Each structure stands twice: as C-alpha cells, then as structure tokens.
Amino acid sequence: MTNHCFIGFKIYLHMSNYHIKGLEEYFNVYRKSIDKPEEFWGDIAEEHFVWRKKWDKVLSWDFTKPEIKWFENAKLNITENCIDRHLLTKGNQTAILFEPNDPTEKAEHITYHQLHERVNRMANVLKSQGVEKGDRVCVYLPMIPELAITVLACARIGAVHSVVFAGFSSSALASRIIDCDAKVVITSDGSYRGAKTIDLKGIVDEALNSCSGVKTVLVAKRINSDIAMKDGRDKWLQPLLDDASTDCEPEIMDAEDPLFILYTSGSTGKPKGMVHTTGGYMVYSAYTFKNVFQYEQGDVYWCTADIGWITGHSYIVYGPLANGATTVMFEGVPNHPDYSRFWEIVEKHKVNQFYTAPTAIRALAKEDLVFVDKHDLTSLKVLGTVGEPINEEAWHWYNDNIGKKNSPIVDTWWQTETGGIMISPIPFATPTIPTFATLPLPGIQPALMDENANEINGNSVEGRLCIKYPWPSIARTIWGDHQRYKDTYFSAYENMYFTGDGARRDAVGYYRITGRVDDVIIVSGHNLGTAPIEDAINEHPAVAESAIVGFPHDIKGNALYGYVTLKETGETRVHDNLRKEINQLITEHIGPIAKLDKIQFTVGLPKTRSGKIMRRILRKVASNELDNLGDISTLLNPEVVEKIIEERL
Ligand code: WT7
C-alpha cells in the first residue's frame, strides 16, 4: 500500500463557501468568486477534496488558444474522492440505489464498501484485458450498476471512459469508437426498456464490423438472452469479476489528465468528443451538486437521466458520490408498467431531491392525476429540470402536483461542454420564476452579446449567451480536433466561450434561456444537429436534397420536420413508404430519437443566391407561422416558398 498523504480533510470543520444557505450568502459568495476566483476555487478544492499533491497554480487560461488549466500539477484520483474517503464514516451507507425496470424485481442497495469492492474488481478486470492509463474504453451499457461501476473503474486506473448512450444505433456507436480509438468495449447481452428488450450486443457486433481497433468486448449479463460470442474477442464479464481482486490501488492522475470523453452533436459534421479533465471537473460537479440540490447527509437523491448523457455523468455518478450521497439509478421508463412509475419510486425510496427533464414532465402531465395522487410524495424537498427550456404550463404542473407548492424547482441551464450546472436557482435562497434559470452559480460570469459582437450591458436585454471567464469544469478540447474546439466555442466572440444559446436578462438580472441560435435542435432534451440527420436522409437513393428544422411539440418540446426533394428519376414509390425508409435510415445512422415527425416532399428548397438553404423560412412554415415570413424576394427561387406553404403538413 502506498502512503496516503492526503491534504485537505478539513471537511465540515468550519463554515466555508462550499454550502450556500441563503440569498444574502449567495450574493456574498458570488461576489467573492468573481473578485478572487483563484482564491475562491482554491479554498473549496483544498477544504473539500482529497489530493495526493497540491497544485502549483489554481488557474491559467487563454481563451484565444484556447488553453485552460485548473489546479496545475496537482495529483489525485477522483475515485478516492468519490469512494475511499467515505469508507470510514459511511461505508455501510447506500451509495448507489439501483431500481430495476421491473418493479417486482428487488431494488439493490450498493453501500460505499460494496461499491469500493466492485469498482476495484472491475478495475482489475480492465487491467487484465490490457487497459492502461490513458487508454480509451467505450461503455455501451444500459442503466444497470455495471455502468456506474465501469465508469468509476476506468477513473480508478486512469483510463478515459467514453460512454455511448445505449439508445444510439450501431453506426453512431461505430463512429464514436473509431473517433476515440477505443480498444475495449463494455456492453451487455441486452437491456430492458419498459415491456421491451433491446439486443445491445447485436448492435455492438454490427458496429464492430467497421472498427478493427477493438480487441476485446466484455459482456455483462442482464436479460439472459442467447447471444453470439465471438471467439477471442468477446468475454463474459461476471467470471472475470469473480476472479478479480477487490484491491486496486488508484492510479495517481494529474489534475489535467482527461477523465472522460462524451460526444455531443454539433450543428455540422460528426459528433464532437468533448474532453473533460479530472481535478476541475471533480470540484465543480461536486460543488454544484451540493448547492443546487441542497443535499444533506442521509438524503436520497434521484436524477432520472441516463449516464449516457452529461447529466448522468455529473449528477448521477461524480457529483453525488463526491459528496458521499445516496444516488438512485433507475433502469426503466416513466410509463412502465404505468404512468405512476416515477412517483411510486419516489414514495418507495423516500426520494428527497428529484431531477428530471421537461419532456418527461410534459408526458406525465398529460395523464390522469390519479397516477400521482395515489403516492406519498412528502419526502420531496427539491425538484429540478434540465435539458431544454421548461414551459410555464409544465412548470406549474410540476410545482402544484409533485412539489405541492412546497418544493422549489431548480431550472438548471448547462451543457455537455460546461460539465456542470451554470445558471440555476439555489433552492431556499433564490426566489424562482417559471421559465427562468435565474442566476449564475458562483464562478460563472455570463455575458449577452449583440450581432456586432459587443457585450450588452444592463438589464432587460436579450442577446447571445457567452461566458467571460473559465470555470473548473469547462471542456478542455474536442478529442483529436482542437481547431474545431476553437472554431466552435471561442471564435464567434473575442475572449469568450460562446454557448450557442440565446438568452434574456430581465429587470432584476435573472436569465431566461430562449433556445439555440444555431442548427442544433433540442428534441425531448436531446441535442440533435441537423447536418448528420440530413446526411443520413441524403443516403436514400431517391433523395436529392433535404433540410431539417424543429417545430413546437407538446411533449417533446421540439419535433423534427423534414423537407425532402426527390431525384427526378421517375420515383414511383408511394410517399408513405419513402417516409418509412427515410426514418429507417435515420434510425440506423443516429438512433430512433432523431426520427422525423413530419416529412414533406417538395419540388425545391428555398435558397439564397449564394445557395444557402433559408432555414428561417422552413422553420416558420413548419411552425405554421405564415404571416411573418420576412423578405423572400431576394431568394434564388421565391416560387418554391408558395408551393411549400400550400403543401405543408
Ligand atoms: C443545450 C445543451 C446539460 C445537460 C442536458 C443537455 C439546452 C439545457 C436548459 C435549461 C433551457 C436548456 C440548451 C443547451 N438546455 N438546459 N434549463 N433551459 N435550455 O445537454 O445535450 O449538451 O444540450 O440544452 O440549449 O445549450 P446538451
């Protein structure tokens, strides 16, 4: 055993900036975080985390390169912070509470002790398969304990995890495996999703036809299906775990070593592998978890996201565990066996903090209130939402029926790129207003910019949302493409991180996110770029060209509307068949979440004289806002607009 020379551990001994408890305190802490950011984050990092070696410098940064380093030369292992340091005081407390898809299957309470053992076993299995510090491991698993355990096991040995949401298609999986050059894939024999099962291993097999770099596939058993195992490549996980040691010394990492890659869609081109590093990400995800959810020891916290998204990384795994919390992991869906599933779980596990997406709230709000009312929800203290703007109606339904007007709602605005929550109320401190994410968290310096790239000062203004100063969990680069990182986030405005969102700042300084200002569409809280979807459609032999826009949808927030022109080859297939084939192509290339709700076949797409598709017009037609199309006379082909309007769906 190495000598653990922890610095820090002054935890809970004295008041600090770590836990904000009122509005005045928030303003004081916020002011300090802006006036003296290095001192602010340095104190938090030192007092609340375990480091093997202290940093030389809290922050060095240059947004023009861009290069951002937090806690330079500090050494740590994030799993020591998320697991080991809790063993003495809460080894027998539940760390992960696994609630299966099927309500009749028993929930599993994994204590910090057990988590320690299981993560170490998994870490040793990865090592035995040749995984070393810095190697990328692709994780394609359903929401079962092995998913969280694998993520932590990678972090334990310094391997970089790349979790791919297990709803993505084989080609989406393949492109992510190839992009980060993963050698090992971890998956399962299948997954449960409500009444259905999904053949995950089959999807992996198909993906690997085009990924020669993958030498090993580890397969967890979940649905006990009869699957094909490829000799020499595929191995059942359980026997390897059974044979592995429960001891695994944590790899000592540099604060700026990559912790994980997570892909997010861009407005153009292939998905971007956002790279998050170790020290800053740990500090920020833990700090924001504590404050945004006002987590107190003994509370049961539940975030309904999938670990395949950043929300699950930061607020199911790392943030909660770094705080020694009990975090619920739910395998299932909100409507199986019926629409009371969420509320049944809240009652069963006496959930105190509940964090979900507006799309889920809207879907549940459509159903009979008896699904809610038959359950005791009095344990709830804080409710949260994330992923897209929450509309007023959904906010009130959530507030009235779930929170009983007694649990503050935190509307949390952030992104895969930001690593943690950026703008959000602090419950019991910040007064909330429906549809407002309210105020920036400590350390976050938002700016609104106008079309001429000038900052808009003052209140009651609207502009493009940027951040002026680095925060600890900002993504450091795009895997393998630093230039794209620079172009996408740091080129629109000098010395600013550009979020891609628009926002309004009201009279008192509250922020309201108005939505994307680029070609990304948020569908059911999922970030979808239009270009990859169009690329998929254009592969159809009958398709000449296509354009995708979003339009308002009751449950999904936005749904996708596709305009498709066909090649003049005397296509004889009926349109409905073509529609099916197009959606099938999208499912294959991206996944079912990107399927189009409406597909309109048209003679042409409105274009500028330089040949750029005028999406603004297509968006208006799809949303049925026909009175204000703007000037179309300068178009190359104004006549198609009329046709498109006439034939709209
Ligand atoms: C985009 C980021 C952060 C985890 C989930 C999504 C939109 C996110 C809110 C909110 C309004 C929101 C933004 C953002 N968004 N939260 N509370 N209010 N919009 O992560 O997939 O990286 O998407 O989601 O447009 O840019 P993501």
| Ligand 1 proximity of 414 Cβ (cutoff 6 Å) | yes
Instruction: State ipTM.
Output: 0.99
- Rounded distance between C-alpha atoms, residue 186 and residue 218, angstroms: 5
Closest CA to ligand 1's atom 14: 415
| Ligand 1 proximity of 388 Cβ (cutoff 6 Å) | yes
Neighbours of 579 (CB within 10 A): 17
- Rounded distance between C-alpha atoms, residue 490 and residue 395, angstroms: 33
User: What is the three-state SS of 209-264?
Assistant: CCCCCCCEEEEECCCCCCCCCCCCCEEEHHHHHHHCCCCCCCCCEECCCEEEEEEE
pLDDT of 425: 98
Partners of 302 in the β-ladder = 328, 354
Q: Tell me the torsion sign for CA atoms 42, 47, 52, 53.
A: positive
515 C-alpha to center of ligand 1: Å? 9
β-strands 216-220, 184-188 pairing: parallel
- Rounded distance between C-alpha atoms, residue 386 and residue 411, angstroms: 6
389 C-alpha to center of ligand 1: Å? 8
- 250 preceded by a cis bond (ω within 30 of 0): no
β-strands 191-193, 196-198 pairing: antiparallel
Three-state SS at 500: strand
**Ligand 1 atom showing the smallest separation from residue 414 Cα:** 3
- Rounded distance between C-alpha atoms, residue 140 and residue 214, angstroms: 13
pLDDT of 13: 37
**Ligand 1 atom showing the smallest separation from residue 515 Cα:** 25
Helical axes 112-128 vs 145-157, angle rounded to 10°:
60
328 φψ region: left (φ > 0), alpha (ψ -120 to 50), beta (else)? beta
Contacts of 291 (CB under 8 A, 6+ apart): 19, 20, 426, 441, 442
388 C-alpha to center of ligand 1: Å? 5
Contacts of 227 (CB under 8 A, 6+ apart): 189, 190, 199, 201, 202, 219
User: What is the three-state SS of 382-433?
Assistant: EEEEECCCCCHHHHHHHHHHHCCCCCCEEEEECCHHHCCCCECCCCCCCCCC
- Rounded distance between C-alpha atoms, residue 390 and residue 116, angstroms: 38
Closest CA to ligand 1's atom 1: 415
pLDDT of 140: 98
What pTM was estimated for this model as a whole?
0.89
| Ligand 1 proximity of 324 Cβ (cutoff 6 Å) | no
525 C-alpha to center of ligand 1: Å? 7
Residues in the chain with pLDDT < 70? Answer: 1-16, 267-269, 569-572, 609-611
Q: Backbone phi, then psi, for 176, in 5-degree steps?
A: -75, -40
Burial class (CB in 10 A: 0-12, 13-18, 19+), 329: buried
| Ligand 1 proximity of 387 Cβ (cutoff 6 Å) | yes
State the amino acid at position 627 in one-letter form: D
pLDDT of 6: 45
pLDDT of 14: 38
